[in-house]
Chains A and B, each alone.
Chain A
Amino acid sequence: MSSNQSFISLQGVSKNFGEVVAVDDISIDIAAGEFFSLLGPSGCGKTTLLRLLAGFESPTSGEIYIDGNAMSEIPPHHRPTNMVFQNYAIFPHIDVNANIAYGLRRDKLGKVEQQRRVDEALEMVKLSGYGKRRANEISGGQRQRVALARALIKRPKVLLLDEPLGALDKKLREEMQLELRALQETVGITFIFVTHDQEEALTLSDRVAVMARGDVLQMASPQVLYNNPVSVEVADFIGQINFFDALVVDIQGDKAVLDTDGLGQVNIPASKDFVQKNARIVVALRPEKLKLLQQPDSNTPYNIKGELRTSAYLGNRSHFYVSVEGHDEQIAVAGQDSGISGQSMQRGSEVWLSWNEESIVVLPAP
């Protein structure tokens, strides 16, 4: 047994490809039945990490434990993991039935029992009746389901998914997200999901590890990642956000007073340890935490005047871009029904932005 009781445990795992450090001393613990996502831009090491779990690569140093067993000496075909490949890797020379039954050879089931399990798996992924088709006779979404069924029929302890929804169009992708989540709850298997799509990671996961340059920047629930990112980099990667440089001018008990570039003077809780007098820090505001008004809001002390520059119509909402004095970048504001609509405002007109103290995200300077 490993020293702790977590189901999957990566302990100081590194992977170098020659000079390139793909995964840099990563330690992660994942609970049984968790839907865990590895999120990051391409080249951040997330796929390498998944391939280390599957056994297609061996770590340069560190150890991976699954259900208490060290994995480094165990080849892929003996690991309790199964994988859904990015391109699905459906065998083209055999039909869907044979693809799904591929992993059952060693179980030496009878023909009838094997077909029963295959039919069960097909039903689970809603592909009943497609068993006799070949890979080139089904759509991308269906291939993805075959790949899922083929992996799940092995009843793995861990299912590894390498950007399985990346090749699907937006509508199908959203449908599959819901199905995938429902499926995971039904089968109760631990899912480790690799994606570069932050929205997908937030929608699906119990927990997300945000990765960059082979490192984990933050590992937390989607809510925590969105509302309390630990760094400018994480905040920037998860959703849209406005950053403002700030100087801590005074600490008064549990409050800190900031002088910001663009937002004026702002009070924040002094709870974070990098909030020291005279320290340079960064504060951030999500577009939906800002209100766009024609007059200052009397309910909050935080109002600044700006000039409307452009707007972007996004269908269900609009984003407005406002420039304020003392801040180089335009500030993104989500237009809400209660606020003012785009038509009533001319480009260049004077507007007010207002926000609440608790909406401010406090970050260390990068």
Chain B
Amino acid sequence: MKKIARNIAYIDRPNRALSIYAVLFLAFLYIPVLFLPLFSFNDAIYIAFPIKSWTLHWYRDMWNNEPLFAALMNSVRVGIFVSLVATFLGIFGAKAVTRYKMPGKGPVIGLIMAPLVIPGIILGVALLILVNRVGITLSLYTIALGHVLVCVPFSMATLMSRFEGFDKSMEEASADLGENAWWTFWRVTLPMVFPGVMASLLLCFTISFDEFILAFFLGGTDPTLPLYMWGQLRFPQRLPNVLALGACILVISFVVVFFSQWLVRQDRD
């Protein structure tokens, strides 16, 4: 007879079918992605099993690749700029929609969140037309502009949950104790949403760092890292380099996103 662990709460009892499903689900999600780092250690130009022998050659190559580093620095610069601007806008936007009563609040939130659902290619084409019409030269700045647009909704969403999580009587208490709106923001509001601010910075940086479509449309002569990778794919012999680079980006993105999610959950209450 099957033994039921009686000392385990009903809700915590193991369920084999669900466990198998969970494993399959994770496999489906991650196995394709894991081919990237796997073949980055393969000592052959072509992606095919069996793997001939293992090498760190492609990683060493990457280290001495000047254009790659230039592209990396471009991406980092754009990412920092975008995360700062988007988070700055996100803080005030999130505070406004969670704290103040205003007419048409629902539609306003909807419009701010819209870039989340607009296909990147449409946004890219639209922005390209706009930038050309206004007569701005395509550069890293135009890429950053596009990235801010797609990052603000993410920043808002992250920060809104933080603002909603704290009681507005905290801000009233600060006012009651003699601080005006500015000091209340510095002494109470900002410290209390700070984990959300950090999370938003990291999230926006990652989004900008990985973004390709808008960068493709809005980029000038300086490529960002994804644009550089795209360029390299034209040369079959460079493919392993791209795989190595991709593996690095994958690891860093994972770490950053996990860290930002961990921050969001910190001392919620």
Contact = CB atoms under 8 A, between A and B. Distances in A.
B192 A154 contact: no
Q: Which one of A54, A56, A78 has the highest number of Cβ atoms from chain B below 10 Å of its Cβ?
A: A56
Contacts of A91: 170, 173-174, 188, 192
Q: Which one of B170, B192, B267 has the highest number of Cβ atoms from chain A below 10 Å of its Cβ?
A: B170
Contacts of B183: 105
Interface string B227-269: 0000000000000000000000000000000000000000101
Interface in B94-120: none
Contact of B169 (A77, A82, A85): A85
Given A91-B188, A92-B192, A77 B180 contact: yes
Contacts of A55: 175
B176 A81 contact: yes
Contacts of B169: 85-87, 89
Q: Which one of B176, B178, B187, B267 has the highest number of Cβ atoms from chain A below 10 Å of its Cβ?
A: B176
A298 B5 CA distance: 73
B164 interface: no
A35 B176 CA distance: 20
Given A76-B172, A102-B187, A89 B167 contact: yes
B172 A77 contact: no
B170 A77 contact: no
Interface in A100-119: 102-103, 105-106
Which secondary structure dominates where chain B touches chain A? Answer: helix
A92 B180 contact: no
B1 interface: no
Interface in A63-86: 75-78, 81-83, 85-86
B175 A76 contact: yes
Contacts, number: 67
Contacts of A151: 176-177
Contacts of B61: none
A152 to B, nearest CB: 11
B177 A150 contact: yes
A170 interface: no
Interface residues of A, number: 26
Q: Which one of A54, A75, A76, A78 has the highest number of Cβ atoms from chain B below 10 Å of its Cβ?
A: A76
A92 B267 contact: yes
A82 B176 contact: yes
Contacts of A136: 267, 269
Contacts of B170: 89, 91
A106 B267 contact: no
Nearest to A103: B177
Contact of A89 (B173, B179, B194): B173
A56 B167 CA distance: 15
A285 B191 CA distance: 57
B177 A102 contact: yes
Interface in B184-234: 187-188, 191-192, 194
Contact of A93 (B172, B175, B178, B192): B192
B255 to A, nearest CB: 26
A76 B181 CA distance: 10
Contacts of B188: 91
Contacts of A94: 191
B179 A93 contact: no
Q: Which one of A54, A55, A92, A103 has the highest number of Cβ atoms from chain B below 10 Å of its Cβ?
A: A92
Contact of A54 (B176, B192, B267): B176
Contacts of B173: 83, 85, 89, 91, 150
Contacts of A87: 167, 169
Contacts of A77: 175-180
B260 to A, nearest CB: 19
A82 B167 contact: no
B177 A82 contact: yes
Interface string A33-66: 0000000000000000000001110000000000
Interface in A148-201: 150-151, 154
B76 to A, nearest CB: 31
Contacts of A56: 172, 175
17 contacts: A54-B172, A54-B176, A55-B175, A56-B172, A77-B178, A77-B179, A82-B177, A83-B176, A85-B173, A91-B173, A91-B174, A91-B192, A102-B187, A136-B267, A136-B269, A151-B177, A154-B177
Given A76-B172, A85-B173, 18 more contacts: A56-B172, A56-B175, A75-B180, A77-B176, A77-B177, A77-B179, A81-B176, A83-B172, A83-B176, A85-B169, A87-B167, A87-B169, A89-B167, A89-B170, A91-B174, A102-B177, A105-B183, A154-B178
Interface of A: 54-56, 75-78, 81-83, 85-87, 89, 91-94, 102-103, 105-106, 136, 150-151, 154
User: Closest 5 CB pairs between A and B?
Assistant: A103-B177, A89-B173, A76-B175, A89-B169, A93-B191
